[in-house]
Structure 1
Amino acid sequence: MRYYSQIYIVIITTLMICLSGCTTPQKQQVNQTPSTQQNSPENNQPSSQIKLLNEEAVKLSEQGQLKEGFQKLEQALTISTDRGERFWEAVTLNNMGRIYQKQANYAQALQSYQQALLINKELGDRVQLGKTYSNIGYLFDIQKQPELAIFFYKHCLINREQARLEPSLLSAPQPDAYSITVAQTYRILGDKLLKQGRVAEAQRSLDLLKVEELQGFASGVRGNQQTAKGINIIPQETATKQKLEQTLDNAVELGKELTKLRKIPPEQRSPQEKQRIEEIVLTQQKLLKQFNDFIASPPVKAQLDQISRAAKGQNLDLGSINELRDNLAKLPEKSVLIYPLVLQDSLELVVVSPESVPVHRPVKVTREQLNQTIATFRQDLQSPRRQDAKKTANQLYDWLIKPLENDIKLAGAKQLIYAPDDQLRYIPLSALYDGKQWLVERFSVNYITAASLSNFNTPPKRNFRALAGAFTKGNYQFQVGTQQLNYAGLQFAGQEVESIATTLPGSQKLLDQAFNPQATIPQMDDYPIVHLATHAAFVVGKPEDSFILFGNGDRIHLQDVANWSLPNVDLVVLSACETGLGGKLGNGEEILGFAYQMQKTGARATIASLWSVDDGGTQALMSAFYTLLSSGKLTKAEALRQTQIALITGKSPENNPLPIAISSGFSHPYYWAPFILIGNGL
């Protein structure tokens, strides 16, 4: 009975989200309320004192001094309740819950999180509300109760995505009061949904994970009405929400009254005010008991069982999935969408096609094994002298594509829409090897950052003119982080842009000193294609470390790119960029961040390289690519594919002969594999 008592308290509290998370978000729902702003630690001394006590408590807790840490939190809670510092009261309660949790006192942890949840809802603070839901989800996670963990993690996403409509709320410094990061919440939720067979919900979680990772790398990522929908609350939960709604409204109203009373200094409270505070606290306790009795009733228990069965059977609102299928169906080539999710002990694959529900295929490989193979593969690919690339390419094929072969075949797919995860972002999918041929010889590959949130099927304007800049001579040295970098002019870059100008009449060339930000950036939106034959680097770490180098030595950083306006640009090409600078691999968020920033400018697609090919291979590839694209017969994705095949075989495509000779010396994937297309591949 005690077990059910603990669970039911939490389920009821969680369903509060239905009051605030299942409805269409309005702007006022995500703004900080006046009470939250007034409780900012910079505004008054009590807040600063509470903040310091919480920081000391967290530090002591991390050092294993739980008793001492809890004593600090008791002091903080006394000050916050006496002074009506509701924001900091919730923070302190969350941290108390964390210590209870470490002590395996799960009932008390739950009670602390529950109290924080009520305060956050009262304040209308979506950010804190979402993170408190994450704490509760994690509490049930460590107790091996995945259904409840999923339920609460979903509510974290709902509130987080509604808060994303005001990105400044997410970018503001947040106190440390949470068991795991928000990105971990998204990732864990996706994992648990997949393991329960709830693939449609998992697909949505994976989409939103990409957005959350962007927020972690480049703050200020704004959401939209599509992202603000969060993740579906299945229909069977609606009835429970309606039954609880009035009770929860009463609890919030009581909380607001309590906040006003507690803003009166204790020594100035009248006897009537003191009595009213006691009455409110007692009434809230009675309401929680009513919640427990309601949830413990047989009809509600039966309904919860029904919810679990229905969700596992995919009996849920598939509106967003149907929209995604429609987008796939509108593409000129049969396509499937592939999502890998890299977990500690497994690789989880999700494939979506126009005709079927999402399919989940688990692969037994650890993150460590996968990352070691990725690192080896990159080394094999980045040296044309290494002839063993096919071995690791085949191993990665067995993990990433082979489990999906039948699904891809049934869909009749000719194109793979790919949303890579973690370090998979550092390797080209097209360079996987099935034992007989490279993947690019079977499929075109179109990368996207968050498939169901991106418009990847809008036809481009067929106007082939380019603004082509090149860094051909000179030498520039500068420091990025702890690395001293030295970049020399690209030997073949001049020929590269000359070939583009010849192939695409009406194009403009900018070389070396003339290729500078002041002359280049204002002209970009006058051309449907912007081609930059220069060094660029996506650096693990802060966004300001990633850069594009211009011919005069100036650098434009990733954050500066966000200020560009390129609504008329169909394609941006960076032909000599590199990732994993210095051999350091992160989780690939810098690649995701670059693609996002380009998308934010209005440009529909980007071609970038995962490593720099500093010789005639790039010039040959780009010449062939623009020749095929300018014919108007092929999409960008297919033109890139046929170009890569031409380099592999040393022959022109049969149906699209090239007016230039292709050397057979470019067959190694070092030359053709690094170029990936991100965004709209049409």
Structure 2
Amino acid sequence: MRDRKLSLTALITLILTISQPIANLPPLFQVSQVLAQTPADRKAEADRLFQQGIEQFQISQFGAALQSWQQALIIYREIKDRLGEGQSLGNLGVAYKNLGDYAKAIEYQQQRLAITREIKDRQGEGTTLGNLGIAYKNLGDYAKAIEYQQQRLAITKEIKDRLGEGQSLANLGIAYSALGDYAKAIEYEQQGLTIIREIKNRLGEEQSLGNLGADYFALGDYSKAIEYQQQRLVIAREIEDRQGEGAALGNLGTVYFALGDYAKAIEYEQQSLAIARKIKARLGEGQSLSNLGNAYYALGDYAKAIEYEQQSLVIAREIKDLDGEGTNLNNLGLTFYKSGNLKEAEKILRAGIEVLESLRGRLGKNDSYKVSIFEEQARTYLILQEVLIAQNKTKEALEISERGRSRAFVELLTSRSSSKSAGQTSERPVDKPKISLLQQIAKQQNSTLVEYSIIYDDFNIQGKQETHESELYIWVIKPTGEVTFFRNVDLKPLWQKENTTFAKLVTTSRNSIGARGTAFRGINVSYNPNAPKAKNNLKRLHELLINPIADLLPKNSNDRVIFIPQSSLFLVPFAALQDADGKYLIEKHTILTSPSIQVLDLTHKQKQRIGTKPIEGKDTLIVGNPTMPFIAPKIGETPQQLIPLPGAELEAIAISKLLKTQPLVGNKATVSTVVQRLPQARFVHLATHGLFDDIQGLNSGIALTPSGKDDGLLTASEILDLKLNAELVVLSACDTGRGRLTGDGVIGLSRSLISAGVPSVLVSLWSVPDAPTALLMTEFYQNLQKNPDKAQALRQAMLTTMKKSPNPVNWAAFTLIGEAE
């Protein structure tokens, strides 16, 4: 049940309980050997504290364990016991990981890594790399997780550490499982299991079987999931691993929950709970209690669900498990909401949000960490919106909708804005999006703001609880500051009658006009704008997104409308949405988009910093058709050279003549030259290939000419580190508006450019065709020379291109993000 962190909590319990880095912890927890020249009494005291920490950790007394290891660390440093110091640092990292403080976990593991390399402790180095991989996996940075596990795997093979090799393979399986590549996950897990069985490590075999059960569970193969968990259970009982036995029982409960057999799920969870209490595993006890609350919620027994969740909450607070506390508060809030106690639900959910935001606060200024962790937190904001709407608190719900999107982006922009302010000595705190601020932004933008929020709910389908799209909330803020809320957009027919979802509808609407996500231009697909709604999904999207609020939108086509999408709606070509008469939205309105309303306030501040100048040659950087780099289509495949784009070169030359400047084309358009000129340019136009990364986002890039020391790609990650002063950046390339879709918006090129200081970015939503794009861009700049309103310039360019190339694939790909003027 995605809407409630209940079944998701159960799934996390399933995966994390069985996916601890196999035997990663035992090496960390080995008491270091006495060094001959170390004072025996101090060494003995440090070792005692070290072992005490292990015992405290094993019964989930994480706070106490931290204190013991910190004291041990002080002594090890005092007596210059580098091995003990390193092991203490590693253990502290593991403890902070369990407490959900991943930034500190990584910090301590990095310190340990430095020591292991200094003293040439190859096994310790491998173990630390593995633990870093697990920490990054928990943050959702799966690329780094895989990178660290691969490094560990190489070391284990080098030193012939068969146990470590098996662990590394298993942990690679866990990382690929998190990516949703279950076939590869199972492949790695099976390789790891073979080694573990070869060396007769029964504990490792037990854990590997559990991991395989998790993979098959994720694939929906519940019979195999049960089979593997039962095998794990047999071994756990044979070797008297009570913790493993409890985990296997809890995971079986999770599988039966997914099968809708709630009685059996409760039976297994009760057995798991009994073991956790017996061995004083407080974390496991809390998880079992929460899973029991899960089952009783599904049965509609809200009183019992609340009882179990409250017990779990007490434990989470006792062991300082902030992540668990946030989950419990989320679950309790939803259960109180379903039971009709709206006031208590609101109170608890607001407390849950405070806990979640304190977790993000621990991540400091690390943007990628905040984006990753926010993915698991976003649902609490959605549930609170429902609770507030049920109480007719529509404006408060809008505040929460804003607070639940683009928070990492807002914090990043605020931080960078603060550092550029004259005389600023400390980082300015981020304002919470109160309704007065949102109204002020609408007035400041002199635009109509439209914010969407997709709401999910639990449905009983053939005796099982499932989560599906339920409603679409829409808020409209007029330039006067007047706020209107519309909630009666019923999304249930999408999956009940039309066999689709919002995300699939967006994809089919794009496909229907020939829009494709690819690094190569050149699309020619027939399109019928007069097709019935059943076949023309642009009309269906208009019906859902625009019809309910059409009377609230401005009548003057020159007045701006700024859409604030969510999730898959970021990929909607708003300009091409069609009303019942076949008229496109761009024909009626001037359109922009933004990840959130608060981001608009920050791009406005960026624009004030930069100021406005007429567009002219000396301030422009124009790139067209570089000498293309070699790019691997997929990881592990042979790199292939991207095809040249002669149309993009002609486009760059034509725009350069218009603006009286010289373009960088072919061999001149190197990465180093472009990066050197970017900070000085006020207007930037890049006509080349764009490549998007929908897994990490920051690997999305712009193709340029390789210059020896680089691969020819200017990535979103590299742009993020730049300080730009451009008023406008136009990415006239394929898919430059795409990337990784997250609760924080689209992680990709547009986000990085705005973060680097650019207030207005023009990007594409699909692979754009050469000739129509060249026409559209030339028209855009001609319009911009006459009128500094970028949104108006884009609208007129679209209307002109539409006359010559009617298919929306030829003119509707581009969207303006940020400031219009």
Matching residue of 1:608: 763
Give yes or no for contact 2:750–2:763 (8 Å, CA) kept in 1: no
The equivalences for 1:508-527 within 5 A come to 508-527=662-681
Letter in 1 for 2:560: Q
Give yes or no for contact 1:336–1:408 (8 Å, CA) kept in 2: no
Cα distance in 2 for residues equivalent to 1:117 and 1:50: 12
Letter in 2 for 1:111: Q
SS of residue paired to 1:43? helix
1:364 paired with 2:478, answer: no
- Alignment RMSD (CA, Å): 4.2
Deviations 1:138-158 (A, max 9, x none): 443454544433332222223
Cα distance in 2 for residues equivalent to 1:119 and 1:403: 48
TM-score of the pair, normalised by structure 1: 0.67
Give yes or no for contact 1:393–1:433 (8 Å, CA) kept in 2: yes
1:337 paired with 2:469, answer: no
Residue of 655, 677, 686 corresponding to 1:500: 655
Residue of 539, 552, 562 corresponding to 2:720: 562
Matching residue of 1:489: 644
Matching residue of 2:572: 427
Matching residue of 1:95: 287
Residue 636 of structure 1 deviates from its aligned partner by: 1.0
Residue 426 of structure 1 deviates from its aligned partner by: 1.4
Matching residue of 1:637: 791
Residue 543 of structure 1 deviates from its aligned partner by: 2.6
Residue 476 of structure 1 deviates from its aligned partner by: 2.9
Residue of 595, 601, 606 corresponding to 2:750: 595
Cα distance in 2 for residues equivalent to 1:485 and 1:205: 45
Give yes or no for contact 1:342–1:421 (8 Å, CA) kept in 2: no
1:111 paired with 2:111, answer: no
Residue of 643, 647, 655 corresponding to 2:801: 647
Cα distance in 1 for residues equivalent to 2:277 and 2:524: 63
Letter in 2 for 1:667: P
Residue 162 of structure 1 deviates from its aligned partner by: 4.7
Give yes or no for contact 1:470–1:551 (8 Å, CA) kept in 2: no
Same amino acid, percent of matched pairs: 20
SS of residue paired to 2:729? strand
Cα distance in 1 for residues equivalent to 2:705 and 2:338: 55
Matching residue of 2:732: 575
Matching residue of 1:672: 811
Residue 323 of structure 1 deviates from its aligned partner by: 1.9
Cα distance in 2 for residues equivalent to 1:599 and 1:160: 26
Deviations 1:247-275 (A, max 9, x none): xxxxxxxxxxxxxxxxxxxxxxxxxxxxx
Letter in 2 for 1:361: R
Residue 114 of structure 1 deviates from its aligned partner by: 3.9
Letter in 1 for 2:526: R
5+ residue gaps, structure 1: 1-32, 80-88, 232-319, 650-663
Cα distance change, pair 119–462 in 1 and its aligned pair in 2 (3 A): farther
Cα distance in 1 for residues equivalent to 2:778 and 2:698: 32
Matching residue of 2:91: 43
Letter in 1 for 2:593: Y
Residue 418 of structure 1 deviates from its aligned partner by: 0.8
SS of residue paired to 1:624? helix
Cα distance in 2 for residues equivalent to 1:358 and 1:547: 39
SS of residue paired to 1:330? helix
1:462 paired with 2:613, answer: yes
Cα distance in 2 for residues equivalent to 1:127 and 1:228: 22
Cα distance in 2 for residues equivalent to 1:588 and 1:115: 29
Higher relative contact order (CA 8 A, sep 6+): 1
Cα distance in 1 for residues equivalent to 2:677 and 2:314: 56
Cα distance change, pair 454–402 in 1 and its aligned pair in 2 (3 A): same
1:350 paired with 2:475, answer: yes
Cα distance in 2 for residues equivalent to 1:37 and 1:157: 26
Residue 58 of structure 1 deviates from its aligned partner by: 5.5
Cα distance change, pair 544–592 in 1 and its aligned pair in 2 (3 A): closer
Deviations 1:143-192 (A, max 9, x none): 45444333322222233335544434988999xx99x9312222232344
Letter in 2 for 1:461: T
Residue 56 of structure 1 deviates from its aligned partner by: 7.2
Cα distance change, pair 412–50 in 1 and its aligned pair in 2 (3 A): closer
Residue 451 of structure 1 deviates from its aligned partner by: 0.9
Cα distance in 2 for residues equivalent to 1:55 and 1:630: 69
1:133 paired with 2:329, answer: yes
Cα distance in 2 for residues equivalent to 1:360 and 1:103: 34
Letter in 1 for 2:566: D
TM-score of the pair, normalised by structure 2: 0.56
Give yes or no for contact 1:469–1:532 (8 Å, CA) kept in 2: yes
Matching residue of 1:658: none
Cα distance change, pair 46–478 in 1 and its aligned pair in 2 (3 A): closer
Cα distance in 2 for residues equivalent to 1:37 and 1:556: 42
Residue of 406, 431, 439 corresponding to 1:325: 439
1:395 paired with 2:573, answer: no
Deviations 1:522-562 (A, max 9, x none): 21010111211111122221234422221335123332221
Deviations 1:347-403 (A, max 9, x none): 222212234134223211236343333222101222653223453222211111110
1:63 paired with 2:266, answer: no
Letter in 2 for 1:183: A
Cα distance in 1 for residues equivalent to 2:65 and 2:789: 51
Letter in 1 for 2:348: F
Cα distance in 2 for residues equivalent to 1:165 and 1:173: 11
Residue 608 of structure 1 deviates from its aligned partner by: 0.7
Matching residue of 1:303: none
Pairs aligned (count): 523
Residue 74 of structure 1 deviates from its aligned partner by: 1.9
